[in-house]
Every structure is written in structure tokens, then in C-alpha cells.
Chain A
Amino acid sequence: MTAIDEGVLKLDPEEARRVRQERLERIGRWVLPLAIMILAIWLWDRICVWNEIPQYILPRPGVVLWTLYNDAGLLFSALLVTLRITFLSLALAVIGGVGLAVLFAQSKWVEMSFFPFAIVLQVTPIVAIFPLINIYVDNQTTKLLLCAWIVAFFPILSNTTLGLNSVDRNLRDMFKLNGATRWQQLRYLRLPAAMPYFLGGLKIAGGLSLIGAVVAEFVAGATGQSSGLASRIIEAGYRLNAPRLFAALFLISLTGILIFLVLSLISHLILRRWHESALKQER
């Protein structure tokens, strides 16, 4: 899908319209969301000015940006703490999710027996479990990790299990015919086949592990000692320091977006040669 030079190639009106349409769409994909975003920020600023809203209720966007710059030391060190929990829990979610999925894939009986436990863990709100974790676990980092892990591991487990079980039947027969061992079948057939599913789960889990980390900090922050972004937000809330609250919020969303983009890129790079989802639309 390279740009078509209309000067060289004579296009009929229909094709020319299609080329124009495609070009417009390409530009619009970036320009439109950006324009709406800028408009929304401008409107936010105007609403503050028009209604003379005090800064401790709703700060103007410029003030938020200024605070982000001014409090950078404080906010970014807090972000680092949150990021550490996020990535550690994501890593553990990958290990736990894939590990359990591989275990489930060994036998339908294992899967049938243990999958309900995973679902119970998943559907119980983490905020409700946290007081228990607080009683049983002493170490602060472990508490937060456990929390974020419980939130993040399920999509990986569920997706990878689905992937491991959706191998083409003929391919399975082919492996059997060639005398493949269980391990060979897992390594050369089922794991690669599950890759797109796993990566889909990873994209969801990336965002969830951040949410898990922040929520865990919130709950833990209420009981005292935590230094992540969430505790900065709580602190700022107590002090009616709305600009800092907004700045911290902005950092969290930005982090979430970055995590999603990075994971999408990884997924694209791994799948681009063979999986339908990563292929360009061909007509």
C-alpha cells in the first residue's frame, strides 16, 4: 500500500476517489483525535476562567503542567515506585499465567478441576480481598505485588489456555505421526500456536497490573506507609492540592497508555510475519 503517483498511473474516477479517501483516512487517524484532545483541553481552560473556578477545585491545564514540572522530583520518584510494582506484578502474572496454562494444558482433568479457582480469584474485587492480605502478609512490597498479580494474571491464564487448546487437529496428527513427545508438541506446536492469544492477554494484563498496583497502593495507603503515585494522590487530596492531584493522575494515564503501546508494538513485531491480526489489509 504505497502512495500511488497519479501522474504516472491513469486512474479512473472511482479509483481516484478511493486513493483520496485512503489518504484522508491516513491523515484523519492522527489529526482528528489530536484536534479533539486540544479542543477539550482548551474548553477545560475556558470553563475554569469563565466560571472563576478556584484552583483547589479545578486547576487550569497550564497550572497542572506547571505543577508537573515543579513537583517533578516528588512525582517521578513516586511513579518509579508504582512502576516497579506494576512491572514486577506483570512479570509474575506472565510466569504464573503461562505456567498455570501449560499445567492446565497437560490434561483436561487438571483444567476442569482448577479453572474455577482462577475464576473465583478473578471475580472477587481486589479491594475486598486486601484486608485479608493485609492480615496475612507483613512485607509491604509483597502485599502490593500480590494484589496487582491477582488482578493481572487472569487474562493471561485464560487466553493462553484457550490458545494452547486451539491447535489445528491435522497439525496435532502430523506431530503424532512423527512420533513427537509431549514436550516437543508443547514446544514446537502448542506454545507457538498460543502466542497470539497470549499476547492479546498480555495487552490486557499490562493495563490491569498498573490498575492493580494503584488500587493496592490506595488501600495500603489508607493504612499508612506507601510512597507510590496513589499515596501522592491521597495526600494531595487531603491537602486540597488539586493541581498535584491532576498531575499525578495525568502521569498514571500516560503510563497506562505507554504500557499499552509498548505491548502492542511487541505483539506486532512477534506476529507481523504470520498472524492475520498483524497483517496489513490487502484487497
Chain B
Amino acid sequence: MMQENVAQAPASASDVAPTLLALRGVGKVFSNGVTALSDVDLTIREGDFLSLLGPSGCGKSTALRLIAGLSTPTSGVLDWRGGGSLDRSNIGFVFQEPTLLPWASVFDNVWLPLRLKGVSRAKAAPAVTQMLARVHLTGFEDAVPRELSGGMKMRVSIARAMVTKPRVLLMDEPFAALDEITRFKLNNDLLELWQDERFTVVFVTHSVFESVFLSNRVVVMAARPGRVFDELAIEAAYPRDEAFRTSPDYAALCRQASDVLVKAINSTAGAHHDGH
């Protein structure tokens, strides 16, 4: 993951958290000619809970993979502040599926990132045990993934991503396959974790409600070509709980985000044949 070290941008306003990552003019064209992303400018600040919201094909997952370093941009730069390019150990990634090792126990699955860094089972035990407690899985250390429900598997996946204490957590529609009750529960637990540990989250979703509930910033993307369409600040205070979920404020914010999303989707219809 090599990034050019671009000259320092002018200092941001004092009330805003320092920039962690700036995407500047980032584009990605696949070898089959599809433009997945075009000219994306996006600033991710320290401590953000930023959602990338958009219809399928808007390149939100591609953007996440670029940030993770799993893919390299065709054009533009990813400028990691805080010392050039971030080490990969500073990034946690949660996939859409739990993506666990089916043959390994819950404990061993969470241990894996540390194990790959050469940390022994005994040395890793405190961190793993603590992380499992954080996602409410104490007592399930020895279970294998197939013995767990979908929500629990996703908790293991989150614990695995967080066990290395990354500064950035990237999540690719992590709760899309879960039922609503489980999803709400995981939303709450994720927010709690985020508030306690103060890491930065980039959260890809196609759910307006989820993005508004979780984030302080919602970036709406449009498709063909994938691009940033608009950004919304969700200024409701944290902690957000079940009361917030049923509040008129939340409903209003959801409607606002929904309107922007509809505009983004319609913009695609118009931009269909404009040669991008």
C-alpha cells in the first residue's frame, strides 16, 4: 500500500477533528471497462462514523476495498494523514458474510489476526477474552461457527476485526443478511463499542435507516459511474438508543436522507448515456 505523500493541506477548522484519510480524485476502472468509481473526493476524519449509502453498483464496496488496500486506484490518491500510509494492522475489516474459519473455534477465529502477527495463544488470551466479552460472546469460546446463529457469527467477525485495536474499522454491509431484530441489537452494540473506543468507522450500507441511526456523516453515492453524490451531516447526539429510533427527529433525518438517495438514483437514469 504505497501512497504519495501529498503536501500538507491547510489546517482544518479547529472545531473539526483532524483528517485521517483524504481521497482525492480517486477513480477505479476495471479491466472489463466498467468504471466502478469516478473522481471521488472524500475526507474521513478521526473518530468519524461515516456511512457510504447508495444503490448497488455505486462503487461503495469498491471504495472500501481501495481504503483497505485490497485494491489500488486507477487514478487519484489516498492520502493517509497521521504518518503517511497506515499500516494494515491499523485497519479492521468486516465483510458482508461473517467469513469465519469453519473448522476453528470462536476463540481461535478471534485469535487469528494476532496469531498471524506471531502472538502465541497464551499471550493473546487476555485480548481475545476481553474482545469476546465486548461483543457479548463470553462462554462461547469453544463453539465452532456452525453452532452459532447469524448474529453471533457477525459478532465474532467484529471481535476478530477489533482484536488488534485498529484505528479504522471498515464494514461492508455487515448486517444486510440479518433479521431486523438482530440487526437493531447489533447496531446498538456497535455504537456502544465505537463510543467507548473512539475508532473511526467507514460503514457501507444500502439501508437509509441504518446509515442515519449509526453515523454522524452519511455520504450518498450514485451509480454509473460510481461517484459521491451528496453528503449529509446527522447531527443527533450520541448515545443513540431505542428512544432515538422511534423519535420524530430520526424520522425527519431518514426522510431527508431518503430524498437525497432518490435524487442520486434518478441522477443515474439521466447520466446513463453521457459517455462516462
- Produce 1/0 per residue, B93-106, CB < 8 A to A: 10111010111100
User: Does the CB pair A177–B91 fall under 8 Å?
Assistant: yes
Known: A188-B116, A274-B146. A177 touches B93 (CB 8 A): yes
Other-chain residue from B88, B117, B144 in contact with A177 (beta carbon distance below 8 A): B88
- Mind listing 20 A-B residue pairs with CB under 8 Å? A170-B96, A171-B99, A171-B101, A173-B93, A173-B95, A175-B116, A176-B70, A177-B93, A178-B88, A178-B112, A178-B164, A179-B89, A180-B116, A184-B116, A188-B116, A192-B101, A192-B104, A274-B145, A275-B103, A279-B146
Q: How many pairs, one residue from A and one from B, have CB atoms within 8 Å of each other in the complex?
A: 53
> Is A26 located at the chain interface by the 8 A CB criterion?
no
User: Does the CB pair A189–B102 fall under 8 Å?
Assistant: no
User: Does the CB pair A179–B88 fall under 8 Å?
Assistant: yes
Cβ of A171 to closest chain B Cβ, rounded Å: 6
Residue of B nearest to A181 (CB): B116
- Which of chain B's residues have a CB closer than 8 A to the CB of A195? 103
> Is B113 located at the chain interface by the 8 A CB criterion?
yes
> Is A168 located at the chain interface by the 8 A CB criterion?
yes
> Is A40 located at the chain interface by the 8 A CB criterion?
no
Known: A179-B116, A179-B117, A188-B116. A274 touches B102 (CB 8 A): yes
Other-chain residue from A168, A170, A173, A192 in contact with B103 (beta carbon distance below 8 A): A192
Other-chain residue from B88, B91, B101 in contact with A189 (beta carbon distance below 8 A): B101
Residue of A nearest to B71 (CB): A173
User: Does the CB pair B144–A273 fall under 8 Å?
Assistant: yes
Number of A positions contacting B (CB below 8 A): 20
Known: A184-B116, A188-B116, A189-B101. A177 touches B68 (CB 8 A): yes
Cβ of B64 to closest chain A Cβ, rounded Å: 11
The CA-CA distance from A106 to B97 in the complex, in Å, is 27
Max chain B C-beta neighbours (<10 A), residue from A179, A195, A279: A179
- Of residues 129 through 179 on chain B, the ones whose CB sits less than 8 Å from some CB of chain A are 144-146, 164
> Is B115 located at the chain interface by the 8 A CB criterion?
yes
The CA-CA distance from A273 to B147 in the complex, in Å, is 9
- Which of chain B's residues have a CB closer than 8 A to the CB of A171? 99, 101
Cβ of A42 to closest chain B Cβ, rounded Å: 46
Cβ of A182 to closest chain B Cβ, rounded Å: 12
> Is A174 located at the chain interface by the 8 A CB criterion?
yes
User: Does the CB pair A275–B93 fall under 8 Å?
Assistant: no
- Produce 1/0 per residue, B36-75, CB < 8 A to A: 0000000000000000000000000000000011100000
User: Does the CB pair B113–A178 fall under 8 Å?
Assistant: yes
The CA-CA distance from A275 to B146 in the complex, in Å, is 9
- Which of chain B's residues have a CB closer than 8 A to the CB of A168? 99
